[in-house]
Amino acid sequence: MISILKNTQKLFVCAGLIFYCQTVFAQNQLIVENIKQINTQLFCLTTPTDTIHFIKYDTINEKKPLFLFLSGSLPMPLIVDYGKDYNNMMATNSFHLFDKQIFENFNVVDISQPNVPPIILYENLDNQGAYKNFSLEYLKRNVAETFVTRANEVINCLLAQEWIDRDSIFVYGHSQGAYIAARVAAENEAVKAIAFSSTNPFGRYQGMLQTIRDKAISGVISEEDALTQINQQYEFWNKVCYEDFPNDYRAQLPATWKSFSQSVVEILANLKQPLFVVYGTKDYHSVACELLPIYFGFSGKTNYKLHPMLGRGHNFESFDENGNPHWDDMKWQDVTIEFMNFIKN
């Protein structure tokens, strides 16, 4: 069943359903499709400037707090269609990460990447699960400002739905999504708490440099190799900041790199909302989170929790004695339960 909610006045007549929606944005339209196979609702929010897809677990709309998941980088779909060879089986890209208690206590929502189809055939994904045929428009819009705007649009849309507890809006941002979650919380007073998960608060490029140095300190690479790699990163950064790129897809990279390489430390330190900071201690990119309490001390922020996952990586995976990740041993469910307990207390 597909339903349409349009923000014109108060009453919206749909295919077999009647919905009430506040007039929040002029000429906005929300299309809802139930995908019963995976017990998921797919939403398409059309605004004057964008088309935003997002999914919600459960086709039954029960009033609960909102758990908004902001995922990492790469043009990944919300839903993977495995095609005829697998009996048209479908799966979401994120909902399998969460413990059942999260779904019992929250309406869980995940937002699409800009200009990436919400449902993509498995054969059109690369070995990281990203869309192989992404467009130039995606690259143009792959900047922090785009993601912050889209997240705020979805939050404001969901605030108008009767099945959302408007006083309980929580955002879990992972990797690149953590960077976005910080900025969304700073702008949107409806957000009551956030999780800042597995990213470097000082920015993406700073994280890359720190990763190289940490690998040298731990003996993974030599000091000489580290210096070579760091100098190569400096050279690329100079190109990002000062030189013209060819007139092709690479021309969009400087905006992306600069956008996500700005520090959010000051934003985090001045957030009024409670803050849950989680990272794996073997995730070179995000261990800089351990410096945050110093800056929180300067700003007087006390409503936070630092939750290091000992011996775990970027996705809370474990490692064998040779440093190879065990992708079948990730602690996502433990982490999200910790966040739930944090916001309940």
The pLDDT tens digits of the residues spanning 282-296 come to: 998 899 999 999 999
Residues 271 and 227 in one domain: no
Classify residue 206 by burial, with Cβ atoms within 10 Å: 0-12, 13-18, 19+. middle
- Give yes or no for residue 19 having a pLDDT over 80: no
What pLDDT score does 20 carry? 32
- Boundary-marking domain end, from 256, 291, 318: 256
Lowest mean pLDDT among 188-197, 228-237, 242-251, 261-270: 242-251
> In terms of domains, do 221 and 340 share one?
no
Instruction: Give domain status of residue 3, yes or no.
Output: no
CATH code of residue 75: 3.40.50.1820
Confidence of residue 209 (pLDDT cuts 50, 70, 90): very high
Please check whether residues 230 and 93 belong to one and the same domain: no
Q: How far apart are CA 219 and CA 49, in angstroms?
A: 49
Co-location of 198 and 211 in the same domain:
no
Rounded to two decimals, the pTM is 0.89
Task: Identify whether residues 173 and 320 lie together within a single domain.
Answer: yes
Which of 195, 223, 256 marks a domain boundary?
Answer: 256
The answer to whether residue 45 sits within a structural domain is: no
Note the pLDDT of residue 214: 87
Q: Is residue 13 part of a domain?
A: no
Q: Is 43 contained in some domain?
A: no
Same domain, 145 and 197: yes
In a domain, 8, yes or no: no
Confidence band for 252, pLDDT divided at 50, 70 and 90: low
In a domain, 40, yes or no: no
Q: How confident is the model at residue 253 (pLDDT cuts 50, 70, 90)?
A: confident
> Token pair of 19, please?
């919905």
Phi, psi angles (nearest 5°) of residue 302: -125, -15
Mean pLDDT of the region 18-23: 34
235 shares a domain with 176: no
Residue with tokens 């731990």: 218
Say whether both 92 and 183 belong to one domain.
yes
Q: In the structure encoding, which two tokens stand for residue 164, read together?
A: 């959302």
* DSSP β-ladder status, 2-6 and 11-13: unpaired
CB atoms within 10 A of CB 195: 30
Which residue segment(s) compose the domain that 111 sits in?
Answer: 62-203+264-344
Sign of CA dihedral 224, 228, 233, 234: positive
Helix ranges restricted to H, the chain: 100-105, 136-140, 144-158, 176-187, 204-217, 223-242, 253-260, 265-269, 292-299, 332-344
Backbone angles phi, psi at 255, to 5 degrees: -65, -40
Determine the pLDDT at residue 177. Answer: 97
Distance CA(222)–CA(246), nearest Å, equals 34
Token readout for 214 is 């940490």
Same domain, 170 and 232: no
Overall number of domains in the chain:
2
Tokens of 237: 């950064």
Instruction: State residue 67 phi and psi, 5-degree precision.
Output: -115, 100
- CA distance linking residue 51 with residue 72, whole number of Å: 19
Mean pLDDT taken over the chain: 89
pLDDT bracket for residue 27 (50, 70, 90): low
